[in-house]
Amino acid sequence: MEAVKEKFLQYGVTETLADKAINNGLTVSKCRTLSQKDMVSKYNMEPNEVKILAKRTKRQPIDSNVLYQLLENSNYTCNICKGSKGVSYVVHHIEEYEITQDNGYHNLIVLCPNDHDLAHSSGLTMGITKEQLVKSKLSWEKSVELANLERASKSININDDAIDYVNIYRIEELCVNLFSKIPETTITTHLKTRGILNSNNSFDQKYVQNSLSNGRYLFDYINSSETEHYKQLLKKIIGVTDFLNLDEHLNVKSLKSGVLNGKYAYFTGGVCAKGVSTPITKETQSVLMHYTRRKFRIEWVLDPMFLMSMSAINRIGGKNRYIIYCLIRSVMKDDETSQWIIKASPLLIALPSNFVDKTPFIAYEKQYNKYVELGWIIPPEDGA
């Protein structure tokens, strides 16, 4: 059923019309071969509906990968009304298909049937212009991207094998402060059986170093799902503690207000750090990880002992896109550089699932440049 529906969507048929056609026994192939009279009489369709089906299915279909990415990036929601006019949708060609036969991502937008009609009402006062479609698409897709990132961040939607760093004792301390104990997770029993956790569910570093690790670094042994255990603990913490989106507060007004001081936060972005060599011992220097803009700099100090794998150790040097859960220690302005310095203690650092699992089909910047190239958007003059 879903595969048949996707076929209809690839031809620009609305979701509602596709559902009706499928429920009445029609497929794309039948719509292309049957007469409109037969579709009305034998499949209980309205004349205006079969006219649309016959016309649309004569087009070249939209590539399934393009269609999937378009719908995902729009959250299966109209880019104009954001779903306020209904949940049904249609894939609309910004530049008319009959003119360009262009099924490229840049020429497609998700609309509800109501706004789809308005988009075809060119020249009318209430019509939606091509420029409005382009701007709405860019704006809505960016909003969806940010909303999805925030939802994934607060639910810690990351793979445990993508976790590079865990501040074990800080997470355990937080649990004790919040819950008066270190709660059980689905991994607790297994870790206690192996001796990695003691009777209080606390990490037994001495036992791990003496009995499990071969000495290059603390977790240099067969993984026992420690990262999943501490991810689950952090999820419990986030369930009762407000974590701010640090990126949203990288502005002078927020930093001056002191709203970040002592708060828990998460940050997703490209950060830099110097590498660390093995073996990692007590004498190994801390790792300074940082993110810098012209007016702002965030610094996290990592204990290299709690890097979770050799790949994490190798990766830490250089620039990486990470999601970092942390506690803000201080926010101050450097009088010499006029730069705001935010110092934070990391709880958990991982490769965010949004970027680990898939690469966006087309980048936001690339879309904008394409629209400028086509003359659909006129960029502001320098200095504007």
pLDDT score, position 357: 34
Q: Is the pLDDT of residue 356 over 50?
A: no
pLDDT score, position 183: 97
CA distances from 191 to 104, 138, 183, 286 (A): 51, 47, 13, 27
The pLDDT of 208-222, averaged and rounded, is 90
Q: Is the pLDDT of residue 47 over 90?
A: yes
Which residues is 297 bridged to in the sheet?
292, 341
pLDDT score, position 177: 95
CA distances from 383 to 38, 379, 380 (A): 62, 11, 8
pLDDT digits (tens, 9 = 90+) for 146-155: 777 777 667 7
CA distance 383 to 369: 18
pLDDT score, position 382: 43
pLDDT score, position 99: 87
pLDDT digits (tens, 9 = 90+) for 91-124: 999 998 888 899 999 999 999 999 998 988 755 4
pLDDT score, position 112: 92
Q: Is the pLDDT of residue 23 over 50?
A: yes
Fold of 160-351: OB fold (Dihydrolipoamide Acetyltransferase, E2P) (2.40.50)
The pLDDT of 365-370, averaged and rounded, is 59
The pLDDT-based confidence of 384 (bands split at 50, 70, 90) is very low
Q: Mean pLDDT, the chain, as a whole number?
A: 87
| 85 vs 158, higher pLDDT | 85
Residues 6+ apart with CB under 8 A from 352: 149, 152, 153, 158, 162, 268, 321, 322, 323
Residues 6+ apart with CB under 8 A from 375: none
pLDDT score, position 1: 73
Q: Is the pLDDT of residue 367 over 80?
A: no
DSSP H helical segments within the chain, as ranges? 2-10, 15-23, 28-33, 36-43, 47-56, 64-73, 97-100, 113-119, 130-154, 168-179, 188-193, 205-207, 226-240, 252-257, 310-316, 353-356, 364-374
pLDDT score, position 148: 76
pLDDT score, position 288: 96
| 294 vs 51, higher pLDDT | 51
Q: Is the pLDDT of residue 376 over 80?
A: no
The pLDDT of 78-87, averaged and rounded, is 91
The domain spans of the chain are 2-152, 160-351
> Which residue bears the tokens 């990126």?
247
The pLDDT-based confidence of 355 (bands split at 50, 70, 90) is very low
CA distance 143 to 244: 17
Torsion angle of alpha carbons 215, 221, 224, 228, nearest 10°? 70
The pLDDT of 322-351, averaged and rounded, is 93
Cβ proximity of 248 and 186 under 8 Å: no
Q: What is the pTM of this model?
A: 0.64
pLDDT digits (tens, 9 = 90+) for 217-250: 999 998 889 999 999 999 999 999 989 989 888 8
Amino acid of residue 258: G
The pLDDT-based confidence of 361 (bands split at 50, 70, 90) is very low
pLDDT score, position 354: 54
Nearest to 153 by CA among 41, 264, 50, 275: 264
The pLDDT of 340-359, averaged and rounded, is 77
pLDDT digits (tens, 9 = 90+) for 276-324: 999 999 899 999 999 998 899 999 999 999 999 999 999 998 899 999 9
